[in-house]
Amino acid sequence: MRFQSVLRTGLSITDGNVSPAGGFLSAREGGGAVRCITCVHQGYELYGSDRSFCETVRTIREAYPQAWIDVVLPKAGPIVASLEGAASRIVIEPIWVLRRRNLLRLATLGMAALPFAVARALRRIRASDLVYVNTTVVADYLLAARLLPGRTVVHVHEIPEGATLTVLRSLIRWSRANIIFNSRATQAAFAMPKDATARVVYNGIAGPAVPNPARYDGSRPLRLLMLGRISRIKGQEVLVEAIRQLPDAVRSRVELKIVGSAFEDDAREAALAAQVAEAGLSRQVTCSPFVADPDSLYRWADVVAVPSQLPESLGRVAIEALAYGIPPLVSGIGGLTEIVEDRATGWVVPPGSAEALSRTLAEIVTRPDLWRDYPAAARARYERIFDEKLAAEGIAAMLRLTLQREPARVRDARAPADAASKSAG
């Protein structure tokens, strides 16, 4: 199917017998095949949630090869190229997204735009047989979903806290959308009613055909990678402090690459660079901007660090590390404990503790014999639980259920039972 990139709204493009922006008789009304699917995403970069969205759109394309698939984004960015071949059209238009840094503006000036945003979302839902909404913060589509029930699936990829959790939980309940949770931790945090139609589907990825060989033996510096958005939540500052606390003889045997950018926050990037310089770590630690393809970084790394300070709903970077046969070093919080088996496929440390992180790093550097089997075990865990085919099966099952318009009880994913029983950290 021809791919169209649209950088403004209101443009109608047709391809054969498919009319993407409305004007067709939907499968729901006419009883025919699925003809139009809308996929909505709140981002435009290529971080973990963005890459997960692209993979889900590809899953939808494989399940419904003849459908017209509109992808709605708030802004053009690196994600657009990754959607080619799966999306029929990219639509760039305003989306009412609940971001922490913009909540005050949304609660004041933004409220004036909300009715128009909901009306726009409602038109798209009405013109679609199925609507896939990636994450709970896409408020306009979730508000509109209640008015046309039985068409919307929301994919939950976050574990908010406090008032934010209350707001987002209420938004999902209001929407009456079917729900995909990306981990049991996410499902537990949102605590939906028992009559909700929901399932847990772990994020799956397309891993490399050949993982990295197990190669660290202590004869050279340990190559430590931290990949992701620079933010307080991700814990770059804690990791830098942990390296500063290492004994001099150990610190000199660590090379850390921090790769990522802050979201519209140059000051945070500058503060991280200043911390590295003030700690005297400029020779051991390098900070680089976001890259769209991290393959070469994973090929370089011996260990991948995910020292998150607040609950991760799952942790795509940790899953990607497993796929490359790299043991992850993660915080024992949220869905990360469903990915890593402590002292078997990686290491789990208390969140926010630079001291505990530093002690574990010292052991990793000085005792490679203790973890020589971790790389092979990491790859095996990826293949057993986090392969993209398993995720595609779970997502496709929820889409079929939604199209049937039949309610169902909360259910878990097809991931093996040991995903929960063996991964507590």
Structure confidence at residue 105 (pLDDT): 53
For residue 178, the cross-strand partners are 153
On whether the CB atoms of residues 142 and 171 are closer than 8 A, the answer is yes
Percent of the chain exceeding pLDDT 70 equals: 84
- Interval 197-215: pLDDT, tens: 999 999 999 999 999 999 9
Structure confidence at residue 47 (pLDDT): 87
Distance in angstroms (rounded) separating the CA atoms of residues 174 and 170: 6
Nearest to 292 by CA among 41, 48, 53, 30: 48
The full set of domains in the chain, from first to last, is 4-204+388-419 (3.40.50.2000), 222-384 (3.40.50.2000)
Element (H, E) at 240: helix 236-244
Mean pLDDT across 79-87: 95
Q: What DSSP line would sit under 77-123, residue for residue? A: STHHHHTBTTBSEEEE----B--GGGHHHHHTGGGGTHHHHHHHHHH
For residue 224, the cross-strand partners are 256, 303
Distance in angstroms (rounded) separating the CA atoms of residues 107 and 67: 37
Structure confidence at residue 409 (pLDDT): 43
